[in-house]
Structure 1
Amino acid sequence: MNQTDFFKCLSDPTRLQIIKMVISKNNICVCEFTEQLAFSQPKISRHLALLRTHAILLDRRQGQWVYYRLNPDLPIWAKEILTTLSQHPIV
C-alpha cells in the first residue's frame, strides 16, 4: 500500500467519516452511509470507489445491495492509524 495515497484518502472528512462508520460497524451498505451522512448516493459512491481502489475497503454484493468492510489485509501500521482515528472526533 502506498502511504501517500493512504493519507490522501484520509484527508477528506467524508471519507474519514465513512471509515469510522465501517470500523464501528462492519459490513455497511451504501444506503446506511447516505442516511447517516446526509449525502447523495452518487457522492458517497465516489468516495467509496476511491477507498476501494486504494484497498482500504472491500465490497461484497448481496442481491441489489453492496456492503463495505475494512480490508483485513491492510498493513499493521494502517490498521493502527485507522483504529486511533476512529477513537477521536472529526475536527
Structure 2
Amino acid sequence: MHATSTITPAFITSGFHALSDHLRIQVLELLRIQELCVCECEYLGVTQSKLSFHLKTLKEVGLVRARADGRWIYYSLNLPQLVVLEQYLAEYRR
C-alpha cells in the first residue's frame, strides 16, 4: 500500500460505510456533474432534512466538501479522498 497518512483502517471502513447507501451513491453521481445545495433536493425526491443527513455523512468521512454561499451550503466531490479508496482497492489487483 502507498505510504499515505489518509489510508488508515478507520478511514477505509468509514469511507466504504459512507458508500454503502444507495441515496449517498445518487448524491455522489449528481456531484460528478455539479455542485449541490440541499435546496436542490428535488433532483433526488427526498426531504431537505434527509438529504442533509446523507451529505453530513459524506462530509464527515471527507468524501465531499462544503462551501458556504450566503445562507446556503454547496457540496462538491473531494476527489483526493475518493482516490484514496480507489488506491486501496487497486492493491487487490496485484
TM-score, normalised via structure 2 length: 0.74
**1:14-73 C-alpha deviation (Å, 9 max, x unpaired):** 001001110122x211122x1111101000000011111000001001001110011143
Larger Cα-atom Rg:
2
- Extract unaligned runs of 5+ from structure 2: 1-5, 88-94
Q: Identity of paired residues, percent?
A: 33
TM-score, normalised via structure 1 length: 0.76
- Extract unaligned runs of 5+ from structure 1: 81-91
1:75 CA drift (Å):
5.4
Give the aligned partner of residue 46 of structure 2: 39
CA RMSD after TM alignment: 2.0
1:65/1:9 CA distance change after superposition, 3 Å: same
Give the aligned partner of residue 54 of structure 1: 61
Give the aligned partner of residue 16 of structure 2: 7
Aligned length: 79
Give secondary structure in 2 for the equivalent of 1:68: strand
Q: Runs in 1 of length 4+ with deviation above 4 angstroms?
A: none
